[in-house]
A = this chain, B = another copy of it.
Amino acid sequence: MLTDADIANAHPLEPITAIARRAGLPADSISPYGDNKAKIEVTKIDWSRPDGKLVLVTGVSPTPAGEGKSTTLIGLTDALAALGENVLVSIREPSLGPVMGLKGGAAGGGYSQIVPMDDINLHFTGDFHAVSAANNTLAAMVDNHIQQGNELRIDPRQVTWQRCVDVNDRSLRRVVTGLGGPASGVPQETGFTITAASEIMAILGLATDLDDLTQRLGAITVGDSFDGRPITAAELGAAGALTALLKDAINPNLVQTLGGTPAFCHGGPFANIAHGCSTLLGTQVALKYGNLVLTEAGFGSDLGAEKFFDIKARYGGLDVAGAVVVTTIRSMKYHGGVPTDQLDAENVDALRKGIVNLERHVDNIRTFGVTPVVALNLFTSDAGAEREFLRQWADDAEVAMAEADVWAKGGDGAVELARLLLDNLSEGSHTLYDTADGVEAAITTIATEIYRAGKVELSWNAKNDLARIKENGWDTLPVCVSKTPYSFSDNPARLGAPEGHTLHVRKLIPRTGAGFIVALTGDVMTMPGLPKRPAAEGIEVDSAGRVTGLF
């Protein structure tokens, strides 16, 4: 069988300048990075154009079976283009660390990919590196301030700003820095995150222009003074330098789908510690030049989609015209209790049991004022009886649903889905809660209306955090819940559609630069490790520069 890489490498790419022209982008906005990638300069865009319609692609609660959300998005895009729609894509960039760890890129699959996939999965246009450089320059400026007299009286024990690398490196989770004597800093216990978990990645994802970027970078809280006052990056004089380091990264990257559709691929904040969406600017530029723009958000409707509406769409004033909920028969069987190694076997009973998970996600999308369309992403193991059951379910539940076969067929496999989506676009999406009601109310609303929890419990720590948030005037920021994606509850083992459970909030972390409050409901891993056999071990480059084994 052909791999994703085989398919991508065999595909003749159009020059990116031709793709950009086709999208209608101004010639002077196009800054090529090689033949097949470009940055689009946001200062050169015609912002007076009307906006196209925005479609959000989300999914059911993820399972080991895999749902193929990005793959469906890309195949659907190419189907819409084939139907004559002026459609553009706005999706996230992959993180390099996991590419070297577990096999699998983040640029779709099969005949539904964005290309050049090897470049996209390696350094791309350097955005992640720019975020790392900005993140680590700020860390050095914090510690240098402490070392050089500490005018701001920063408490070295209360520095919350961490360093980052775009590598899966578990040994950097907990470290002690500043050893080696007085010339080499003040000893501190700290840690590194992966770059995607840096607040600066979230900021890049939400900035509306360079001035807003500077303002948000300056508003980052790096830690506390000895008297408990939050210290910002602006006080350290870092906002301008960090902006300079991100002045190119703020410009969205343009690539193409295998069907030749222009695709913006920009930003990659984690969907647990951050909001998990591609950049607002990437989406906004796409909306200026596409009549229809497909974008996605991490995990299911409870995480990425909720944050899309309540954080990204709120800050960007985005109206969502449609939503696609991607599911598979295998996922629904998994939610119905079938173990991973038995997902190939026909099991309509399990499907009937597990479909509650899909129903919940469909309901959640309606909560935001958007009509959901279910995309059933087909696998070869799917049985006729199972597909028939789902068709019947959709009829009975009055849910718009279409099968899609995008991995094998690309856009040709999503024509019915594309037509169904076009028939289900509307206007007037909205956020879930009013930030004026405060952080605690926001958490409660998300927990009860989206997770269907019976109640919310704040730990002693979280209560202290909340008091501090109120003291500092941060209580009207939107909330970014960090919760397991595998369950609507905070217990990853509770599959299906649990309700009446208790959401345990352990800690509230103000991200004053990004502009949200992270509510931690469990352990959140911000630095992955490598597996026993890292994907890196299988990667080779031949003498002509062709990479093999990347996927």
Report which A residues bind B (CB closer than 8 A): 31-35, 39, 41, 43, 96, 100, 122-123, 126, 129-130, 132-133, 136-137, 139-141, 143-144, 147-149, 163, 165-180, 183-186, 188-189, 191, 209-211, 214, 236-238, 240-241, 243-245, 247-248, 529-532, 534, 536-545, 547, 549-550
CA distance A39 to B100 in the complex (A): 25
**Closest chain B residue to A39, Cβ basis:** B34
Contact B169 A143, beta carbon cutoff 8 Å: yes
A541 partner residues in chain B, CB cutoff 8 A: 210, 214, 240, 243-244, 247
| Contact in complex: A140, B122 (CB < 8 Å) | no
Inter-chain CA distance A100–B245, complex, in Å, is 10
**9 tightest Cβ-Cβ pairs between the two chains A and B:** A174-B180, A171-B185, A237-B537, A129-B129, A241-B536, A174-B179, A240-B540, A140-B169, A144-B530
> How far does the alpha carbon of A33 sit from the alpha carbon of B126 in the complex, in Å?
11
CA distance A168 to B185 in the complex (A): 12
Q: A171-B177, A214-B541 are in contact. List 20 more A-B contacts (CB 8 A).
A: A32-B32, A33-B34, A41-B545, A122-B245, A123-B245, A132-B165, A137-B167, A140-B170, A144-B529, A144-B530, A148-B532, A163-B172, A170-B183, A171-B184, A173-B185, A174-B179, A238-B537, A240-B536, A240-B539, A243-B540
Q: Which of B210, B543, B547 interacts with A545 by CB under 8 Å?
A: B210
The CA-CA distance from A147 to B530 in the complex, in Å, is 10
Task: Pick the contact of A536: B123, B141, B247 (CB < 8 A).
Answer: B141
A541's closest neighbor in chain B, by CB?
B243
Complex Cα spacing A231 to B418, Å: 55
Inter-subunit contact A144/B534 (CB<8 Å)? yes
CB distance from A201 to the nearest CB of B (A): 15
Question: Are A550 and B244 in contact, CB atoms less than 8 angstroms apart?
Answer: yes
Instruction: Using A148-B532, A541-B243 as known contacts, say yes or no to A175 and B174 having CB atoms under 8 A apart.
Output: no
Tell me if B210 and A543 are in contact (CB < 8 A): yes
Q: Which residues of B contact A149 (CB under 8 A)?
A: 532
Residues on the B chain within 8 Å of A237, using CB: 534, 536-538
Q: A178 to B534: give the CA distance in the assembly, Å.
A: 19
Contact flag A168-B148 (CB < 8 Å), given A123-B126, A541-B247, A545-B43 = no
**A183 to B143, alpha carbons, bound, how many Å?**
28
A220 to chain B, nearest CB (A): 14
* Closest B residue by C-beta to A213: B541
Q: Smallest CB-CB separation from A532: which chain B residue?
A: B148
Residues of B within 8 A of A31 (CB): 34-35
CB pair B169–A180 under 8 Å, yes or no, is no
Nearest B residue (CB) for A169 = B140
Instruction: Please list 27 pairs of residues, one from A and one from B, whose beta carbons are closer than 8 Å in the complex, sorted by A's number.
Output: A123-B126, A123-B248, A126-B126, A132-B165, A133-B166, A137-B167, A139-B169, A140-B169, A143-B170, A147-B170, A147-B171, A170-B184, A170-B185, A171-B177, A171-B184, A173-B179, A173-B180, A173-B185, A174-B178, A175-B179, A184-B529, A236-B537, A241-B536, A243-B540, A244-B540, A244-B550, A247-B547
Majority secondary structure, A binding face: mixed
A43, B123: Cβ atoms under 8 Å?
A: no
The chain B residue with its CB closest to the CB of A156 is B171
Contact B173 A175 (CB under 8 A): no
Q: For the complex formed by this chain, how many copies does it contain in all?
A: 2
CB of A443, distance to nearest CB on chain B (Å): 28
B241 and A140 form a contact (CB under 8 A): no
Residues in chain B near residue A123, CB distance under 8 A:
126, 129-130, 133, 245, 248
- Bound CA–CA A43/B547 (angstroms): 14
- Residues from chain B with Cβ under 8 Å of A177 in the complex: 171-172, 175
Task: Give complex CA distance A39, B545 in Å.
Answer: 14
In the complex, the answer to whether A536 meets B137 with C-beta atoms within 8 Å is yes
State the Cβ distance, A462 to closest chain B Cβ, in Å.
22
Chain B's nearest CB lies how many Å from the CB of A34? 5
Contacting residue for A126 out of B129, B238, B534, CB 8 A: B129
CB contacts (< 8 Å) of A211 on chain B: these are: 543
Contact between B244 and A539, CB atoms less than 8 A apart: yes
C-alpha spacing A133/B43, complex, angstroms: 30
Q: Tell me the complex Cα distance, A167–B144, Å.
A: 12
CB distance from A181 to the nearest CB of B (A): 8
> A168 and B184 in contact (CB under 8 A), knowing A237-B536, A536-B238, A545-B247?
no
